[in-house]
Amino acid sequence: MEKKQIESKLVTQSIAESELSIEALKKILVQMDDAEFVEIDISDIRKIHLVYIRTLIDQEKLNESIIKPLTSCSKPSIQDCIVNSSIIPIPTFIEAKKQLFSGSILLFDSSQNLWLAVPLKNPIGRAIESSETETILFGAKDSFSEQVEQNITLIRRRLPIHELKAEKFTVGSLSETSVVLMYIEGLTNPDFVSTVKEKISEINFDLFFDSSQVAAFLEEHQNSIFPQFQQTDRPDVVTYSLELGKITLLVDNTPFALVAPITFFHLFQSPEDYINRWVVASFLRIIRYVSFILSVTLIPFYVALTTHHYQMIPIQTLLVLVDSRSKLPFTPFWEAFIMLIFIEIIKEASLRMPTKTGQTLGVIGGIVIGQAAVEAGFASNVLIVMVGISTIASFLIPNYLMTKANSLIQLMLLIFSSLLGIIGIALGIIAILAHLNSLSSIKQPYFSPVSPFFRKDWIDLFIRGPLVKMMERPEHLKPLKLKRYKTRR
């Protein structure tokens, strides 16, 4: 084990010490079809070598801003000729390699024995489009794309202040993914920043292609079903979070930013909450909490009542239930379990299917699962209605990761309810609450401001209070500046 480490150290040392030369570069770029070595003759005695990787650079710009100026320039120094782009001198081989693979063009002036790099990154990528995962009717439509620089632009436009810091880190031994940590200096609690920095420095993995993978390394509770980082592709959400005193991580090659610290209640907040009028927004937010509880407990309640507590069913409902259940082959638990699994299969399938076949899925799902299952005597009418309600209710939660966790909680409660009835559901809910209380997001309690209790933060918790009343930032985020307004002198 130790031997291997020493060997790998030696190899890195030898590359680092190897002299920066065209030959050395040719050696490492061998069998790479897109690696280009170009010589430009400026005068008889003066040659400039261009080394670049074709697929990583903007070829049009190469002509415009490097080749044309160089060929028509009579000045002795390259720096004086290329005026449109930034020029970075390269001292070492390692640095040269890094620049090469991040989309720069290496220039070697043989007469002066000078190595320079001109960043000319290929701008290929998605344009700024509207978010598909967090759609809203009103409000800003732009969303993040896969290019981290562009994403920073979107945030900087919204927060044009020098306190907005963007620190860059590189993670992943193979992917060399840039992760940008953003926060507002003098507002965000420095503990959050240091915690995240420390954790990022500890990351030891080869490839990152999404921010959720980065989150997996930063989370303190790996085995929980609750996300401890909010993933969002909306710049307005990120800006609002930064303003509250949270930190944001932008990961290159993914449109999803990570926001932390979050609480359980953040999963129920939608950007539209702050666009709607406060009464309407509060109502909608309450509806969201109610529908979460409904989607998690409705079917377990059905199973508990029909298996254990027939006394609690209103007699009118019992008439319907007895009638619809009398010919079924399954007990309520198995009936509900099978239906829930079916719904999960349909949900998963509809995600993977292209839109055109999606219609077929809807028809088959609706007719087969809905009507035919009842007519064939596999499921009762009442259960179908409940499965429908709870499935639709589960979609009201704005956080997609939470929607996924929803089904698992539902299944757990279902098993509890079939074993112990309502006391089972109560025990299950106690277990969930205990678990939520034990969670933390970058070392901040996950269930605050309920526990630990912050009275003032309740104005933006279950309701969304009027903005003019929300004069202070949430206390549970421990911001350095609590007041959101300028103090008058």
Partner 1 sequence: MRLHKKIFKRLILLFMTFWLSGCAHFTKNNLIEEISPITFLSISKGDKGKLKISTILPPLSKEKKIVMSQEVSLLKEGVQKYNLNFYQEIKSGQMRMLVISEELGKDGIMSIINVLLTDPDISLRIYLVIVKGNFEEYLESQLDKDENFDYSFYRMLKHYEEKNQGELTVVNLHEFKNLLYTPYSDPFLPVFKIQEDGVSYEGTALFQDDKLVETISSLDDRIFQLINNDHYLEVLPIPKFEVVLGHVRSKIIVDIDSSYSTMTYTVNIDTRIEEYRGEKQLFDPKELENMKKNIETHLEKQTHELVKKMQELKVDPLQLGVQTKRPFSKPMEEKKWIEMFEKMDIKIKYIINIDSLTDANSKRQNL
- The letter for the amino acid at 15 is I
Residue 469 DSSP one-character state: G
Find the binder of partner 1 among 288, 325, 464, 473 (CB under 8 A): 325
Q: Could you tell me the CA-to-CA distances from 488 to 321, 349, 470, 485 in Å, in that order?
A: 66, 58, 18, 9
Q: Does 332 bind partner 1 (CB under 8 A)?
A: yes
Looking only at the bridges linking them, the beta strands covering 88-89 and 114-119 are antiparallel
Scanning 39-47, 134-142, 328-336, 361-369 for contacts with partner 1 by CB under 8 A, the matching segment is 328-336
Q: Which residue, 223 or 326, has its beta carbon nearer to partner 1? A: 326
Q: Does 322 bind partner 1 (CB under 8 A)?
A: yes
What pairs with residue 107 in β-bridges? 50, 116
Scanning 52-60, 137-145, 320-328, 478-486 for contacts with partner 1 by CB under 8 A, the matching segment is 320-328
Find the binder of partner 1 among 7, 149, 163, 323 (CB under 8 A): 323
Rounded to a whole number of angstroms, the minimum distance from the CB of residue 322 to partner 1 is 5
Whole-angstrom distance, CA of residue 310 vs CA of residue 303:
10
Rounded to a whole number of angstroms, the minimum distance from the CB of residue 304 to partner 1 is 10
Whole-angstrom distance, CA of residue 169 vs CA of residue 111:
36
Q: Which residue, 207 or 322, has its beta carbon nearer to partner 1? A: 322
Query: What does R_g of the chain's alpha carbons equal in angstroms?
Result: 29
Question: Is it true that the peptide bond before 449 is cis, omega within 30 degrees of 0?
Answer: yes
Q: Does 309 bind partner 1 (CB under 8 A)?
A: yes
Rounded to a whole number of angstroms, the minimum distance from the CB of residue 221 to partner 1 is 17
Q: Which residue, 34 or 323, has its beta carbon nearer to partner 1? A: 323
DSSP H or E run through 109: strand 104-109
Find the binder of partner 1 among 310, 334, 395, 453 (CB under 8 A): 310
Rounded to a whole number of angstroms, the minimum distance from the CB of residue 299 to partner 1 is 15
Q: Which residue, 340 or 382, has its beta carbon nearer to partner 1? A: 382
Give the SS3 label for residue 33.
coil
CA dihedral 372, 376, 381, 384 (to 10 degrees): -50
Rounded to a whole number of angstroms, the minimum distance from the CB of residue 228 to partner 1 is 24
Q: Does 321 bind partner 1 (CB under 8 A)?
A: yes
Q: Does 318 bind partner 1 (CB under 8 A)?
A: yes
Rounded to a whole number of angstroms, the minimum distance from the CB of residue 420 to partner 1 is 7
Q: Does 425 bind partner 1 (CB under 8 A)?
A: no
Give the SS3 label for residue 47.
strand
Q: Does 319 bind partner 1 (CB under 8 A)?
A: yes
Q: 169 with 178: CB under 8 angstroms?
A: yes
Q: How many residues bind partner 1 (CB under 8 A)?
A: 22
Scanning 39-47, 270-278, 322-330, 347-355 for contacts with partner 1 by CB under 8 A, the matching segment is 322-330
Q: Report the 10 Å Cβ neighbour count for 356.
A: 7
Q: 286 with 462: CB under 8 angstroms?
A: yes
Q: Does 326 bind partner 1 (CB under 8 A)?
A: yes
Q: Which residue, 74 or 326, has its beta carbon nearer to partner 1? A: 326
Q: Does 24 bind partner 1 (CB under 8 A)?
A: no
Dmax over CA atoms of the chain, in Å, equals 102
Q: 233 with 155: CB under 8 angstroms?
A: no
Q: Which residue, 92 or 331, has its beta carbon nearer to partner 1? A: 331
Whole-angstrom distance, CA of residue 52 vs CA of residue 34:
8
Q: Tally the C-alpha atoms within 13 A of residue 322's C-alpha that lie toward its C-beta.
A: 9
Q: Does 140 bind partner 1 (CB under 8 A)?
A: no
What pairs with residue 89 in β-bridges? 116
Q: Which residue, 423 or 463, has its beta carbon nearer to partner 1? A: 423
Q: Report the 10 Å Cβ neighbour count for 12.
A: 11
Q: 452 with 458: CB under 8 angstroms?
A: no
Q: Which residue, 318 or 349, has its beta carbon nearer to partner 1? A: 318
Footprint (CB under 8 A) of partner 1, residues 381-420: 420
Rounded to a whole number of angstroms, the minimum distance from the CB of residue 310 to partner 1 is 5
Q: Which two tokens stand for residue 207?
A: 């490839």
Whole-angstrom distance, CA of residue 105 vs CA of residue 120:
7
Rounded to a whole number of angstroms, the minimum distance from the CB of residue 326 to partner 1 is 6
Whole-angstrom distance, CA of residue 152 vs CA of residue 147:
9
Rounded to a whole number of angstroms, the minimum distance from the CB of residue 210 to partner 1 is 35
Q: Which residue, 290 or 430, has its beta carbon nearer to partner 1? A: 430
Q: Which residue, 35 or 303, has its beta carbon nearer to partner 1? A: 303
Rounded to a whole number of angstroms, the minimum distance from the CB of residue 333 to partner 1 is 10
DSSP H or E run through 35: strand 35-41
Whole-angstrom distance, CA of residue 403 vs CA of residue 109:
58
Q: Which residue, 181 or 321, has its beta carbon nearer to partner 1? A: 321
Q: Does 223 bind partner 1 (CB under 8 A)?
A: no
What pairs with residue 169 in β-bridges? 179
Residues forming contacts to partner 1 in the complex (CB under 8 A) are: 306-311, 313, 315, 318-319, 321-323, 325-326, 328, 331-332, 420-421, 423, 427
